[in-house]
Structure formats: C-alpha cells, structure tokens
C-alpha cells in the first residue's frame, strides 16, 4: 500500500525496488526555527542496529534515488533516508525559506528529534555539499562522512538571482519536460539501459508535489551550494570518497580535489559508472560503504 501523501502516479511504478521503497515512505512533523508551523518531512527508516547511516539525495531529486542500495545496506546496518527541505516529498510550505541554510536547519531538527546520536552521513551530488555543510556546523552529530560524486567545487550560477517571474516559471517548466529529464538521466549513467520508464518516474514523481516549482526557484535564487574547498580541512571525521569513473555531470577533477583537501579521507573509483554509483553499481558501492563502516 502506497502512502496517501504520495502523488497518484506512484501506482505506475513497476520495478520491485522502487515499489518497496515507495511503500515504506513515512512522514513526521518536524518543528524548526524556520516557521511556527511544523514541516511534514518524508523519510524511510530500516533498522538493523549499529550506528545509523543517513542518506541525502541530490538536486531536484528524492529519497527514491536510493532504492537500489538501501536493501543491501539495511540488511546489516540501520539506515535512514531523508527528503531534504524543498525537495522530494517533504512539505513545501509557502512561507518557508528555501536555501542551503534552511536545509541545514531542518536536517539538524530532524536529526535531533528522530536520531539524536552520532551518525554516518552519506551525501550524493548536491547531498554531498549538504553533508559537508552539516558536518562543519554540527560535528558532534557526524561520526563518519561519505561523499558520492559530491558537489561543492563550483560557484552557484550567477543567473540564479535573476530567476524572477516569469523567468522562474519558464525555467522550471523546462526542467519538468520529460525529454529534458530523460536527457539528464542518460548523461548521469554510463550504461544508458538503466534509464527505464520506472527510473524516469522515480526521478520525476516529486514534481507533482505542491509548490515544487516555487521551492526550486527560491532555492536557486538563494545561491544553493557554493565553493567549499577552503573549509574542507576543518573536517576531522574519517571520510570515504566514492566517484564514478565516467561521471559526465561533475567530471572527475573534483574527485582528486576532495581527496587532496580532506585530511582524514580514503578514495575509491567505481569503474563502468557515471554520476550515480548508488544506482548504477549498487552492490559495489554498498560493499565499499560497509567495509568503511565495519572494518
């Protein structure tokens, strides 16, 4: 049974991993300093004990992007997957600010009320930048850090601040076009056969949530996540860096930059893989994560 707060098109999912994860999505009201009203926050928890592993998704995405890796890791470790503020199926309240600062504030409130112990924080693409900023602000909450094809080495586009109406609506209308989204997905994978109809639905289902366009415009106008290189040396947690060897979204240069600037890190290439190792090579990615955690 799919949760009632998900868009009705969730019923069109066909692949077992997608259906299973969608059925497990829950919502809880998280009170933050951002608003007087609590924010209904979407997440999945699969518990097997041990230090909790918390996964953060990429830009304009949702927790469904972890559908292939979660079952593998949850067989051995407690797993949480969270929809970041302004993304996924988490509530987008009209008066809420949407920025990297508000994402961090919301994530801290979720961690404090739901987890409240040091965690292993995993960030993918934009989620990697979110994980880095969170670790810098709340080091006591992060036991270890894992970055997968992480953002954080580029300045946000200057055009973001100019996304006023009607340009903002035109931009999000372009991003919501199925052909545009399919093109982005095909670029994200090394093996294009992964871009199935089910994968496309997983990547677009959250667009049907209320205020998707407004939140995306507001986040982009805020500047999103910028350049983090100068602060990486402050991170003392053990860090695992995983990178698809054929990444065409961010390229491969940032992989070496992360390795050079994180003082307590180890690095692994994942071959025959693009920007999304957790989707394209879930077995290899999961094993590298578990080896890092358990040994």
Q: 17-63: per-residue pLDDT in tens?
A: 999 999 999 999 999 999 999 999 999 999 888 899 999 999 999 99
Residue 269 lies in a domain: yes
What confidence score (pLDDT) does residue 183 get? 93
Residue 17 lies in a domain: no
Residue 287 lies in a domain: yes
Contacts of 201 (CB under 8 A, 6+ apart): 9, 12, 13, 18
What confidence score (pLDDT) does residue 172 get? 74
Contacts of 234 (CB under 8 A, 6+ apart): 136
- Mean pLDDT, contiguous 10-residue spans, the chain (295 residues): 96 98 98 98 93 97 98 96 98 96 98 98 97 97 98 60 50 81 94 97 97 93 84 95 97 93 96 98 98 89
Cβ–Cβ contacts within 10 Å for residue 85, how many?
Answer: 31
Residues 26 and 43: their CA atoms lie apart, in Å, by: 5
Q: Please give the residue range of the domain that contains residue 86.
A: 39-294
- Residue 207's domain is classified under what CATH number? 3.40.50.1820
Residue 24 lies in a domain: no
Residue 158 lies in a domain: yes
Residue 3 lies in a domain: no
Contacts of 55 (CB under 8 A, 6+ apart): 63, 66, 70, 79, 80, 81, 82, 122, 124, 127
Element (H, E) at 55: strand 53-56
Q: How many domains does the chain have?
A: 1
Residue 103 lies in a domain: yes
What confidence score (pLDDT) does residue 64 get? 98
3-state secondary structure of 187: helix
Query: Percentage of the chain with pLDDT > 70?
Result: 94
Residues 52 and 45: their CA atoms lie apart, in Å, by: 10
Residue 16 lies in a domain: no
- How does DSSP classify residue 205? G
């Amino acid at each position: 049974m799919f949760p009632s707060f998900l868009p009705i098109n969730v019923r069109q999912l066909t692949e077992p991993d997608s259906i299973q994860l969608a059925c497990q999505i829950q919502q809880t009201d998280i009170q933050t300093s951002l608003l007087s009203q609590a924010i209904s926050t979407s997440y999945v928890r699969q518990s097997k004990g041990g230090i909790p592993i918390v996964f953060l998704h990429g830009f304009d995405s949702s927790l469904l992007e972890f559908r292939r890796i979660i079952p593998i890791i949850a067989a051995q470790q407690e797993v949480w997957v969270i929809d970041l503020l302004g993304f996924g199926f988490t509530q987008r309240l009209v008066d809420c600010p949407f920025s990297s600062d508000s994402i961090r504030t919301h994530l801290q409130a979720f961690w404090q009320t739901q987890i409240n112990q040091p965690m292993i924080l995993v960030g993918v693409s934009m989620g990697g930048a979110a994980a880095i900023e969170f670790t810098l602000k709340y080091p006591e909450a992060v036991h270890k850090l894992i970055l997968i094809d992480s953002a954080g080495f580029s300045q946000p586009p200057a055009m973001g601040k100019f996304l006023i109406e009607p340009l903002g609506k035109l931009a999000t209308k372009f991003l919501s076009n199925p052909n545009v989204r399919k093109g982005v997905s095909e670029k994200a994978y090394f093996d294009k056969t992964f871009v199935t109809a089910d994968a496309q639905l997983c990547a677009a289902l959250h667009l049907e949530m209320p205020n998707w366009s407004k939140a995306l415009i507001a986040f982009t106008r805020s500047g999103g996540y910028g350049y983090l290189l100068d602060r990486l040396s402050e991170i003392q947690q053990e860090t695992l860096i995983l990178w698809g060897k054929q990444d065409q979204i961010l390229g491969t240069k940032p992989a070496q930059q992360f390795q050079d600037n994180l003082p307590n890190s180890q690095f692994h290439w994942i071959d025959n893989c693009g920007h999304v190792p957790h989707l394209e090579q879930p077995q290899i990615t999961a094993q590298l994560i578990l080896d890092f955690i358990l040994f």
